[in-house]
Amino acid sequence: GRTRHHKFVVKSSPYTRLCSTKEILTVNGKFPGPTLRARRGDKLIVRVYNRAKYNITLHWHGVKQPRNPWSDGPEYVTQCPIQPGKKFTYKIQLSSEEGTVWWHAHSGWARATVHGAFIIYPKRGQHYPFPKPHAEIPIILGEWWKQNVMEIPGNANVTGGEPILSNALTINGEPGYLYPCSKQGTFKLMVKQGRRYLLRIINAVLEEDLFFAVANHRLTIVGKDGCYLKPFKTDYIMIATGQSMDVLLEADQPPSQYAMSARAYASAFGAGFDNTSTASIVEYHGKYHRPTSPHSPPLPPYNATKAAADFTKHYRTLATKHHPANVPLQVDTHLFFTLSVNLINCTRDKPCTGPLGKRFSASVNNVSFVTPSFDLLQAYYYGIKGVYEEDFPRKPPYEFNYTGERLPFNLLTPTFGTKVMVLDYNASVEIILQGTNVLASDHHPIHIHGYSFYVVGWGFGKFDPKKDPLRYNLVNPPEETTVGVPNNGWVAIRFRADNPGVWLMHCHLERHQTWGMGMVFLVKNGDSPGSRILRPPRHLPKC
Ligand code: C2O
Ligand code: CU
């Protein structure tokens, strides 16, 4: 593969949306940020200069970074943040990724505006496993806040409640014609009748999963999270925060203007409830009478859990000679993780003004992740004691009815800690991710760094260890890096722990992550030289 060099300057830049101008964090002055393009197996060197007044790190979401956690990016997990005025160089070695992934800040809530598409083409001389598109268009689903987004988590901690929602959803940085002062900027995709377009769709929204559709057009899904899928047709998609999808759009309708829209899929009442939509335009070339407003697509309502499941149930990986499915058939490490939103008391050292003196928290196996002040990777690599503990539980402390008919009070309050789970090199791992209804049910988009995994099963209600494994798909399950654990449901994932390092797993709903819904895998080195963590780069940021 080739080596490609990029320079990313993180700085504050003025942007005008929703009738007013404010400073936002950008890369190279762009919102959304620049698109990275490479071929399968290439290497990218990205020099990052922090000219902003906040700490920053960048993460390459969906890229596995073989043996090189040093460039993965989550702050205080694989690196200390790049402080204002400092720089850091990320080295990104691509391996089996192909299709659309993305990059975003992984420090505080900076990813609200610091993000962009990352497109990985087939190797030179190779082809897509689907009909060639006439053009390819990144479609970045994002948000606009009137407030300074960097202050939102701190404010929410003080009130103890849900963080505020954004003021608009956006498509390629634009709220679109449904919002005030936004008609002019509306993103417009010009198409020619009879042609085929590849939309590279990314959900970069902090707090919401989304439904997305183009009026009067069926969509063909051909990839997800940088892996191809068996193509299937649909009227709408559900894309969870953190996910990316490759979607073919055939311009096969009478020339006109059609809305390309997105709306929240919240699944549960809570901060995620937002019934507004964002719209952009697909416009056919040619001479015809433009309608006064574009045709708009029917999108499922915000709480349509069934519509979301009806879409995701179609995922199958290609499982061909060129794109094989390497599903682990035998499992030696069985893990069971519960995902909960909890309530904790306001305390003297974490004061808050929440009702009843309580605030939200979140946990995996009832452990709420505490972000350390020194990065776990260096602590592990240099044997520095006292930064983390190795006793992350392999199963939840109590079994109960996870669909939440009865609430065991001891599960309402999590324990706290910076705990990692140690995995042997090449362990064959299965994790049941079980949603719970400890406080309220929710859909949790769970992302694992350093890996892709196979989603071999999923369902609603409580996972049944006797019956459910009998229905696993071990032939062509989808390969993903961010999986939506359904509302009051579970998923079963499998992967081989063949990437040594320190890797974060967390909910991609930003509030849940902020509240502690995350944990860390420490995958040990193997015996051969090719199965050990690479040496650290020379100039690591300091904490
Ligand atoms: Cu898209 Cu840990 O992140
Ligand atoms: Cu969550």
pLDDT at 405 over 70: no
Q: Is the CB of 115 under 6 A from ligand 1?
A: no
Of 285, 160, 262, the C-alpha closest to 212 is 262
Would residue 542 count as lying in a domain? no
- What is the DSSP-derived secondary structure letter of residue 35? P
Q: Residues 517, 362: contact at Cβ < 8 Å?
A: yes
pLDDT, tens digit, 9 for 90 and up, residues 65-122: 999 999 999 999 999 999 999 999 999 999 999 999 999 999 999 999 999 999 999 9
Using pLDDT thresholds of 50, 70 and 90, give the confidence band for residue 400: confident
120 and 143 in a single domain? The answer is: no
CA nearest to 167, candidates 184, 157, 155, 182: 182
Residue 486 and residue 360 share a domain? yes
ipTM comes to 0.99
Give bridge partners of residue 136 from the DSSP assignment.
198
Residues 388 and 506 in one domain: yes
Does 494 sit in the ligand 1 pocket, CB within 6 Å?
no
In tens, the pLDDT along 292-328 reads 899 999 899 888 899 999 999 999 999 999 999 999 9
Kindly state the average pLDDT of the residues 15-33. 98
pLDDT for the residue numbered 345? 87
At residue 407 the predicted structure's pLDDT band, cuts being 50, 70 and 90, is low
276 CB neighbour count, 10 Å cutoff: 16
Ligand 1 atom with the smallest distance to the CA of 449 is 2
pLDDT of residue 320: 96
Q: Is residue 185 in a domain?
A: yes
Question: What is the reported pLDDT for 352?
Answer: 83
Q: Which ligand is nearest to the CA of 486?
A: 2
Q: Which of 84, 109, 127 is the last residue of a domain?
A: 127
Q: Is residue 510 part of a domain?
A: yes
Query: Closest-lying ligand to the alpha carbon of 342?
Result: 2
Residue 63 sits in the same domain as residue 161: no
Does the residue 122 lie in any domain? Answer: yes
pLDDT (mean) for 218-237:
98
Let me know if 404 is exposed, middle or buried by CB neighbors in 10 A (0-12, 13-18, 19+): middle
Q: Where among 127, 162, 178 does a domain terminate?
A: 127
Phi, psi of 409 (to 5 degrees): -65, -30
Expressed as residue numbers, the domain containing 18 is 1-127
Shared-domain flag, residues 464 and 492: yes
Q: Does 115 fall in a domain? A: yes
In the listed set 96, 127, 158, which residue is the last one of a domain according to the structure? 127
| pLDDT for position 269 | 52
Are 123 and 18 in a shared domain? yes
* SS3 state at 232: strand
pLDDT of residue 271: 47
Angle among Cα 295, 300, 304 to the nearest 5 degrees reads 175
Q: What is the pLDDT of residues 328-375, one digit of tens each?
A: 999 999 999 999 998 888 887 777 887 778 889 999 999 999 999 999
Are 439 and 454 contained in the same domain? yes
Stretch 50-70: mean pLDDT, rounded?
98
Task: Report how far residue 250's alpha carbon sits from residue 232's, in angstroms, rounded to the nearest whole number.
Answer: 13
User: What CATH number does the domain containing 252 carry?
Assistant: 2.60.40.420
Q: Is the CB of 447 under 6 A from ligand 1?
A: yes
pLDDT tier, 125 (very low <50, low <70, confident <90, very high otherwise):
very high
Mean pLDDT of the chain: 94
CA 106 – CA 175 distance, rounded (Å): 24
Same-domain check for residues 144 and 158: yes
Per-residue pLDDT averaged across 381-396, rounded?
Answer: 97
Q: Residue 404: what pLDDT?
A: 67
Atom index in ligand 1 nearest the CA of residue 242 equals 1
Ligand 1 contact via 504 beta carbon (within 6 Å): yes
How much is the pLDDT for 287? 95
**Is the pLDDT score of 520 beyond 50?**
yes
Same domain, 3 and 104: yes
User: Can you give the pTM of this predicted structure?
Assistant: 0.97
**Which residue type occupies 134?**
H
Structural domain contains residue 487: yes
Asked whether 506 lines ligand 1 (CB < 6 A), one says yes
Q: Among the atoms of ligand 1, which is closest to the Cα of residue 102?
A: 1
Which alpha helices (H) appear in 140-202, and where do they start and end? 152-159
Going by alpha carbons, the residue nearest to atom 3 of ligand 1 is 61
> Is residue 322 included in any domain, yes or no?
no
Instruction: Name the domain count of the chain.
Output: 3
- Answer whether residue 328 is part of any domain: no
Residues 307, 425, single domain; the answer is no
Based on the fold, state whether residues 143 and 188 are members of the same structural domain: yes
Assign 288 a pLDDT band (cuts: 50, 70, 90): very high
Mean pLDDT (whole number) for 205-211 = 94
Q: Is the pLDDT of residue 270 over 80?
A: no
Say if residue 195 is in the same domain as residue 273.
yes
pLDDT at residue 413, as a whole number: 87
For tokens 């051969």, name the residue.
528
Would you state the pLDDT for residue 90? 98
Give residue 408's pLDDT: 63
Q: What is the C-alpha separation between 328 and 429, in angstroms, rounded?
A: 8
Residues 6+ positions from 269 with CB-CB distance below 8 Å: 440
State the pLDDT at residue 409.
Answer: 66
Contact call for residues 228 and 476 (beta carbons, < 8 A): no
